Chain A
Amino acid sequence: MSGHSTYQPQSAFMKWMEARLPIAGLVHSSFIAYPVPRNLNYWWTFGGILAFLLGAQLVTGVVLAMHYTPHADMAFNSVEHIMRDVNYGWLLRYLHSNGASMFFIAVYIHMFRGMYYGSYKEPREVLWILGVILYLLMMATGFLGYTLPWGQMSYWGATVITNFFSAFPVIGDMITTLLWGGYAVGNPTLNRFFSLHYLLPFVIVGVVVLHVWALHVVGQNNPAGIEPKGDKETVPFTPYATVKDSFMMAVFCIIFAWFVFYMPNYLGHADNYIPANPAVTPTHIVPEWYYLPFYAILRAVPNKLLGVIALFGSILILAFLPWLDSSKVRSARYRPLYRQFFWIFFVVCILLGWLGAKPAEGGYVIAARILTIYYFAHFLIILPLLGMFEKTKPVPNSISESVLGASQTKA
Chain B
Amino acid sequence: MLDKRFVRLFIIVANTLLHYLYKGANKRPSDRAIPLQDRLRPARPLPSATPHRAVVTASRPVGFFGAMGRSSVTTMSSAGHSRRDFLYIATSAVGAVGAAAVAWPLIAQLNPDASTIAAGAPIEVDLAPIAEGQAIKVFWRGKPIYINHRTKKEIDEARNVNVETLPDPQADQARVKAGHDQWLVLIGICTHLGCIPIAHQGAYDGFFCPCHGSVYDTSGRIRSGPAPLNLALPPYEFVADSKIKIG
Chain A interface residues toward B at CB < 8 A: 156, 159-160, 162-164, 166, 177-186, 188, 192, 278-285, 299, 301-305, 307, 359-361
A155 to chain B, nearest CB (A): 11
Q: Which residues of B contact A186 (CB under 8 A)?
A: 116, 142
**Residue in A163, A178, A182, A192 with the greatest tally of chain B CB atoms within 10 Å:** A182
Chain B interface residues toward A at CB < 8 A: 107, 110-113, 116, 120, 137, 139, 141-144, 189, 191-196, 209-213, 226-228
Return the contact of B112 from the options A160, A177, A303, A360 (Cβ within 8 A). A177
- Can you report 20 A-B residue pairs in the complex whose CB atoms are below 8 A from each other? A159-B193, A160-B194, A160-B211, A162-B194, A178-B107, A180-B112, A182-B116, A182-B142, A185-B142, A278-B144, A279-B137, A279-B139, A281-B195, A282-B210, A299-B212, A303-B226, A304-B228, A307-B226, A359-B213, A360-B212
Given A177-B111, A178-B111, A182-B116, decide whether A163 and B193 contact each other with a Cβ distance below 8 A. Answer: yes
CA A177 – CA B110 in complex, angstroms?
Answer: 8
Q: Which residues of A contact B209 (CB under 8 A)?
A: 281
Query: Are the C-beta atoms of A192 and B195 separated by less than 8 Å?
Result: no
A232 to chain B, nearest CB (A): 51
Chain A, Cβ-Cβ closest to B141: A183
Query: Are the C-beta atoms of A181 and B111 separated by less than 8 Å?
Result: yes
Give the A-B pair count, Cβ closer than 8 A.
Answer: 85
Apart from A163-B194, A188-B113, A304-B193, list 16 A-B contacts with CB within 8 A: A159-B193, A163-B193, A177-B111, A177-B112, A181-B110, A181-B111, A182-B112, A182-B141, A182-B142, A281-B196, A282-B210, A299-B212, A301-B226, A303-B226, A304-B192, A304-B226
Q: Which residues of A contact B111 (CB under 8 A)?
A: 177-178, 181
Given A192-B110, A281-B211, A360-B213, decide whether A304 and B227 contact each other with a Cβ distance below 8 A. Answer: yes
Q: Which residues of A contact B211 (CB under 8 A)?
A: 156, 160, 281, 285
Query: Are the C-beta atoms of A188 and B116 separated by less than 8 Å?
Result: yes
**Residue in A279, A305, A361 with the greatest tally of chain B CB atoms within 10 Å:** A279
Query: Are the C-beta atoms of B210 and A283 separated by less than 8 Å?
Result: yes
Chain A, Cβ-Cβ closest to B195: A281
Query: Are the C-beta atoms of A284 and B210 separated by less than 8 Å?
Result: yes
Return the contact of A278 from the options B116, B142, B213 (Cβ within 8 A). B142
Given A177-B111, A182-B116, A302-B226, decide whether A160 and B142 contact each other with a Cβ distance below 8 A. Answer: no
Q: Which residues of A contact B107 (CB under 8 A)?
A: 178
CA A299 – CA B195 in complex, angstroms?
Answer: 14
Query: Are the C-beta atoms of A361 and B210 separated by less than 8 Å?
Result: no
B173 to chain A, nearest CB (A): 26
A306 to chain B, nearest CB (A): 10
Query: Are the C-beta atoms of A184 and B142 separated by less than 8 Å?
Result: yes
10 tightest A-B CB contacts, nearest first: A184-B142, A183-B141, A163-B194, A163-B193, A281-B195, A160-B193, A178-B110, A159-B194, A281-B196, A283-B210
CA A361 – CA B215 in complex, angstroms?
Answer: 12
Query: Are the C-beta atoms of A305 and B228 separated by less than 8 Å?
Result: yes
Q: Which residues of B contact A183 (CB under 8 A)?
A: 112, 116, 120, 141-143
Query: Are the C-beta atoms of B228 and A181 separated by less than 8 Å?
Result: no
Chain A, Cβ-Cβ closest to B213: A360
Q: Which residues of A contact B210 (CB under 8 A)?
A: 281-285
A400 to chain B, nearest CB (A): 55
A41 to chain B, nearest CB (A): 42
Query: Are the C-beta atoms of A156 and B195 separated by less than 8 Å?
Result: yes
Chain A, Cβ-Cβ closest to B108: A178
Chain A, Cβ-Cβ closest to B107: A178
Q: Which residues of A contact B113 (CB under 8 A)?
A: 181, 188
Q: Which residues of B contact A307 (CB under 8 A)?
A: 226
CA A223 – CA B142 in complex, angstroms?
Answer: 55
CA A164 – CA B210 in complex, angstroms?
Answer: 17
CA A188 – CA B141 in complex, angstroms?
Answer: 13
